[in-house]
Structure 1
Amino acid sequence: MDPRLSFVTLAVPDLDAVRRFYVDGLGWPVELEADGEVIMIRVADKVVLSLWSEAGFEAEVGPIRRGEGVAPITLAHNVGTPEEVDAVLAAARTAGAVHVAAGEHREWGGYSGYFADPAGFRWEVAHNPGPIGQAVL
């Protein structure tokens, strides 16, 4: 099996709210949409972000574990400079994101901050000056 990630699927409680955030607020273009069921957005050449209604997700995948705390996953958006981190964080807030953490210099040598989308999923916005960070730009 080749190492590959083709889809990132997030089960969301309010598909309309995440559509307003990602599509209307951030301006991300929809690749495919089934009204009330799923929105698919191409986020890289061969990677799609799939925002799926919780009901549809549970019908196919199984019950969602619910409870206190944050989902044990983060999504990351890497940029070329610390200033771009701050600009993306501001744009996300303008689009309706919940502020989680302002950009700051990290022990690993980069600069990053966090926001949450309307479903609560955490996005890291990062400038990683190392080789792996530069490879994804």
Structure 2
Amino acid sequence: MEPRLSFVTLVVADLAASRRFYVEGLGWEPVLEAPGEVLMFRVADRVVLSLWDEAAAAAEIGPVTRGGTPPVTLAHNVADPAQVDAVLDDARRAGAPHVSTAQDRSWGGRSGYFADPDGFRWEVAHNPGEVGRIVLP
């Protein structure tokens, strides 16, 4: 198997709320939308973020559990430290229920976090190292 990721699928409790947050709040444009079922965004070359309604997901993958902070984070890297603060401000204006203050990190970069309506945490980071350079367009 090649080391490749094609889809990241998040099972969401309220697809309409997720749509308001990502489309109307953050300004993302869907590449596919099946109302009440799924919403998809192209987030990188050959990578799709899929927001899947909980009932539709459970019918295919089985029971979905909820509670606490999901044990996964998503990341959006930016080219300079000031952009970290700007993206966190965008998330706050979009209605993110949790937004942390950006901080300079011991690893040499700057980052902060916001949560989407289902509590999925997004890291917004400026990473001045080699790995940071390979993830930017």
Report the TM-score, using the length of structure 1 for normalisation: 0.96
CA distance in 2, matches of 1:3, 1:34: 29
Deviation, structure 1 residue 117: 0.5
* SS class of match (1:70): coil
Equivalent position of 1:71 in the other structure: 70
For 1:86 and 1:108, the matched residues in 2 are separated by 18
Tell me what 2:4 maps to: 4
After TM superposition, the runs of 4+ consecutive aligned structure 1 residues lying more than 4 A away are none
Q: Which moved more, 1:92-101 or 1:9-18?
A: 92-101
The separation in 2 between residues aligned to 1:102 and 1:75, in whole angstroms, is: 17
Give the distance between the partners of 1:80 and 1:63, measured in 2 at CA. 39
**Greater displacement, 94-103 / 52-61:** 94-103
Provide the secondary structure at the position in 1 that maps to 2:71.
coil
Provide the rounded CA distance (Å) in 2 between the counterparts of 1:110 and 1:19: 31
Question: Residue 113 of structure 2 aligns to which amino acid in structure 1?
Answer: Y
The Cα of 1:75 is off from its aligned counterpart by 0.4
1:121 aligns with 2:120: yes
Map of 1:32 onto structure 2? 32
Distance 1:126 1:19 in 2: 24
Partner of 2:83: 84
The residue matched to 1:120 in structure 2 has which SS?
A: coil
Identity of aligned residues (%): 68
- Secondary structure (helix, strand or coil) at the match of 2:102 reads strand
* Unaligned 5+ runs, structure 2: none
Q: Please list every run of 5 or more consecutive structure 1 residues that lacks an aligned counterpart in the other structure.
A: none
2:58 aligns with: 58
How far is the alpha carbon of 1:62 from its aligned partner? Answer: 1.1
Alignment RMSD (CA, Å)? 0.8
